[in-house]
Amino acid sequence: MERLAGYLGQLFPYEKSQLYMTLLGTFVADIANAQNTATFVDKVCKSIFANTTNVVGLRLMTRSYIKIYGKSSQVKRDYTFDNIRSTVYFTCENQQESEFVKICLFVADNIYNAVKRMESYEKLVSYDPLTGAYTKRVGLNILKAQIARSKRQGTETFVVFLDLDNFKHFNDTYGHIEGDKLLEKFGEHVRTNLRQHDLFIRYGGDEFVLFLETASPEIVVERLLNNSPVSFSYGIASTKEAESLKELLEIADRRMYDTKKVRKSSL
């Protein structure tokens, strides 16, 4: 920040540089706690808009996200840095404010490196690397919140417990490398066939939990069984059947094992 203060001092008269230094500090405080790209980009746009007088709109892009904020105008400036690119629209020509915006975006570009590291860490701890499902810890926390929302709204949703058939035998016969490949294929199959708002959680080695917002959970699960790289048994519990997540999982788990026993006895 000291180097930036010196740079601002070279660009602007003393009083103006002090003002812009204060505004820059506000800008950094606004965006520093962003946890992901979408939040970061949103905060950058809003803070630049709030800390300037002539900016009427921004178009800001990262490699994975784009946001358009405010409105366009005839007076615009393009700014390009390592991580972000932006077009900023002004009410009129103002060299000093254009330079200030440039400095803000330069600072934002550097802060975004930390945001990307945070996202990588979140992805590492949130998702199972083999199947792409949520990890048990993260997934069950999300599931608990989804169930609470369903109960507040009075809507019926469903928890599904899945258990892959004979997976231990497959591992013992073909080895763990082939078992991992099978899990990868199964995870891709499930993620491809679920809707965006459904949840897919790896509960254990060959056990998975789904959260479905649909009136026909059996149809969804049967669709998953079609063309699945491995067969599985399942049990379904309605969120209207129990109050707690633990109870719902126990109901779905019990029904899954009942189904597995019936299937084994029929062979």
Query: Contact at 8 Å (CB) between 24 and 31?
Result: no
Residue 220's alpha-carbon distances to 65, 92, 160, 193, 211, in angstroms, are 31, 56, 10, 9, 11
13 pLDDT more than 60:
no
| Beta strand 55-61 pairing with 66-70 | antiparallel
Residue 115's alpha-carbon distances to 52, 110, 129, 189, 220, in angstroms, are 24, 9, 21, 31, 36
Query: Contact at 8 Å (CB) between 60 and 67?
Result: yes
Q: Is residue 32 classed exposed, middle or buried when 0-12, 13-18 and 19+ CB atoms within 10 A define those classes?
A: middle
Q: Once rounded to an integer, what is the mean pLDDT over residues 88-112?
A: 92
CATH fold of the domain at 2-123: Beta-Lactamase (3.30.450)
Residue 206 among the catalytic residues? yes
121 pLDDT more than 80:
no
**pLDDT at residue number 255:** 93
Query: Contact at 8 Å (CB) between 187 and 131?
Result: yes
197 secondary structure, DSSP code: T
CATH superfamily to which 136-266 belongs? Reverse transcriptase/Diguanylate cyclase domain (3.30.70.270)
Mean pLDDT of the chain: 88
Confidence of residue 10 (pLDDT cuts 50, 70, 90): low
Coil, helix or strand for 227? coil
Q: What is the pLDDT of residues 232-262, one digit of tens each?
A: 999 999 999 988 899 999 999 999 998 887 7
Q: Indicate the domain borders of the chain.
A: 2-123, 136-266
183 pLDDT more than 80:
yes
Q: What is the pLDDT of residues 53-78, one digit of tens each?
A: 999 999 999 998 999 999 999 999 99
Instruction: Point out the catalytic residue in the list 30, 109, 163, 206.
Output: 206
Confidence of residue 138 (pLDDT cuts 50, 70, 90): confident
Q: What is the pLDDT of residues 20-40, one digit of tens each?
A: 778 888 888 888 888 889 999
Say how far apart CA 49 and CA 68 lie, in whole Å.
12
Query: Contact at 8 Å (CB) between 190 and 200?
Result: yes
Q: Once rounded to an integer, what is the mean pLDDT over residues 145-171?
A: 91
Q: Once rounded to an integer, what is the mean pLDDT over residues 188-205?
A: 92
Say how far apart CA 100 and CA 119 lie, in whole Å.
28
